[in-house]
Structure 1
């Protein structure tokens, strides 16, 4: 999204640090060190210092009290404040212009590429207004060009570093939550998703299905055709499970070995038939498409907690295997829940 905030907590801390540091600095350098100057100017700078301090306190202690749009307009407000203070103090020195770095770095770090470049443009305009008002024309032009190039390059570097870090985080997140062999989610990701799905189902009453799958006689596949063929079979199962769930809200996970799980907001029975059909259509496996034993449970019909849902689905899977494998079994409603439903 073009105006999305990356990290509100980090943004709040960054604004708080600026305001709480800028308020006393402005008070000392703009008021206390210039006592005897024009009274309206001193009053304006003192009021600005107090306002900066109060905003800093709110950002530090109660950032949630500020509207979401505040964090998006902060770099433009900061640019306007820096420009206004430079005008008020008639300060066109390099030291005064360095304060423009904060809104630039804030926008490039916490906001989108578009906001960062808009902030750089605002800084260029603000700096030009100050320089051409209080510096000789030649010096003003040189300083303005140098500042514009500097802020543009700084924004570009910081934005690209952030983009690189975002891509790296996505890769690390995927590696931490997915199975390397099949590309399915791993046990960690499944456990987290299962708790969320069951919690949502018990609150809303909308069913969340859990399908547990075992590949029948997988050891025999490995022993007869080798582990490479076994790996191909596992990938084929994962692909079939994903293909059957396409277009629905789902998560396909490999729990370990030849055991898979699917969380979905769909009719589990229809899903299982689609999955079996997709697997039967797979060609090129030395062992042929493997058979599957499947257990089904649904929250909140069969369970009210994630642990209980997994337990009853596992019991259904065991029943399917005990009944001859290659079968599908649906969990029974526990006595405790049958009286409720």
Structure 2
């Protein structure tokens, strides 16, 4: 997104740190170090310092009350303030220009490329106004070019490191939420998806799948053949699933599909899965048999936790009835109406 915030919590902490440091700095430079200032100026300095401290407190303890606009515009505001103060004081020293590092580091860490570009343009413009007016050309021009290049390189390095860290984080998240053998979602990822789906409402089906006699495949043809059988079933599940469905491996030879479907839709998906597995010709053991349990919300359960249990119970029924079968969960009986109490005489 053009104006996204990568880490709102980190951004609020960064602004809080800046304001926390700025409050005593304003007091020190505007009051304690300049004893000749008038009373109104001293009062104004104190008011500004208190406002900065209050802003730091809000960013630290109540960041949720601040709009996103505040956080992505913070470096532009800081750049404007720094340039304005340097221009008023005609201070073009390296020390005064180093204050530009905060908006550069903040934007490169937390904001999108577009805001980073805008901030660098604002920084370069503000610094040009200060150093060219204060130092005069050509000294000011050379100093402006040097500072602009240094700030751009700083932004590039920080943004590159941030992008690399994001890639590593995404890779770790994929590993944490994926089954290493089949590449399907694991139990943790399935539970998260189930929780989200339950909050969204609407018809929801859970199909629990178990490979029949999987131990016999491992014992007869070896564990490599067993792994191949699991991957064949996983590939068939991906083929059957739609974009918004979730296919997962719970562990061992047990799989599950989370479908946005009613009972007829879930059974159609089961039929396609059976056909896809039966069509495989690569396994030395032949296509594995599947025992399948189907449960649908709200037909067979009141919530998503009960839905998983109902599907698992249906799977047990399918296996008890001879394996290689599909069983649908039993609709729970309606609660009996409360008995009318007899009047007390």
Question: Structure 1 residue 217: deviation in Å?
Answer: 1.7
Aligned to 2:124: 124
Question: Structure 1 residue 103: deviation in Å?
Answer: 0.6
Equivalent of residue 256 in structure 1, options 245, 251, 261: 251
Q: Report the Cα distance in structure 1 between the residues aligned to 2:256 and 2:212, rounded to whole angstroms.
A: 15
In the superposition, relative to structure 1, how do residues 291 and 196 fare at CA in structure 2: closer, same or farther (>3 Å)? same
Question: Structure 1 residue 81: deviation in Å?
Answer: 0.9
CA deviations over 1:47-92 (Å, ceiling 9, x no partner): 5444433322221222122111111111101101111111222211
Aligned to 1:272: 270
Query: What does 1:1-341 align with in structure 2 at a 5 Å threshold?
Result: 1-36=1-36, 48-201=48-201, 206-247=202-243, 249-266=244-261, 267-336=265-334
**Would the aligned equivalents of 1:30 and 1:89 in 2 still touch at CA under 8 Å?**
no
CA deviations over 1:228-283 (Å, ceiling 9, x no partner): 11111101111111110133x11111111110011121221121122222223333
Q: Report the Cα distance in structure 1 between the residues aligned to 2:228 and 2:336, rounded to whole angstroms.
A: 42
CA deviations over 1:123-177 (Å, ceiling 9, x no partner): 1111111111111323212221111111111111111111111111111111111
Secondary structure class of the residue paired with 1:210: strand
Q: Report the Cα distance in structure 2 between the residues aligned to 1:189 and 1:336, rounded to whole angstroms.
A: 33
CA deviations over 1:286-336 (Å, ceiling 9, x no partner): 222222111011223212244322221111111111222221111011125
Aligned-residue CA RMSD (Å)? 2.2
**Would the aligned equivalents of 1:301 and 1:337 in 2 still touch at CA under 8 Å?**
no
Q: Report the Cα distance in structure 2 between the residues aligned to 1:257 and 1:338, rounded to whole angstroms.
A: 40
**Would the aligned equivalents of 1:109 and 1:159 in 2 still touch at CA under 8 Å?**
yes
CA deviations over 1:85-112 (Å, ceiling 9, x no partner): 1122221111111111111111011112
Q: Report the Cα distance in structure 1 between the residues aligned to 2:77 and 2:252, rounded to whole angstroms.
A: 57
Aligned to 2:340: none
TM-score, length-normalised on structure 1?
0.91
Q: Report the Cα distance in structure 2 between the residues aligned to 1:175 and 1:20, rounded to whole angstroms.
A: 39
**Would the aligned equivalents of 1:302 and 1:337 in 2 still touch at CA under 8 Å?**
no
Higher mean displacement: 57-66 or 47-56: 47-56
In the superposition, relative to structure 1, how do residues 12 and 28 fare at CA in structure 2: closer, same or farther (>3 Å)? same
Q: Report the Cα distance in structure 2 between the residues aligned to 1:139 and 1:43, rounded to whole angstroms.
A: 38
Aligned residues: 334
**Would the aligned equivalents of 1:82 and 1:99 in 2 still touch at CA under 8 Å?**
yes
Question: Structure 1 residue 114: deviation in Å?
Answer: 2.6
Secondary structure class of the residue paired with 2:256: strand
Secondary structure class of the residue paired with 2:322: coil
Question: Structure 1 residue 40: deviation in Å?
Answer: 8.6
Secondary structure class of the residue paired with 1:261: strand
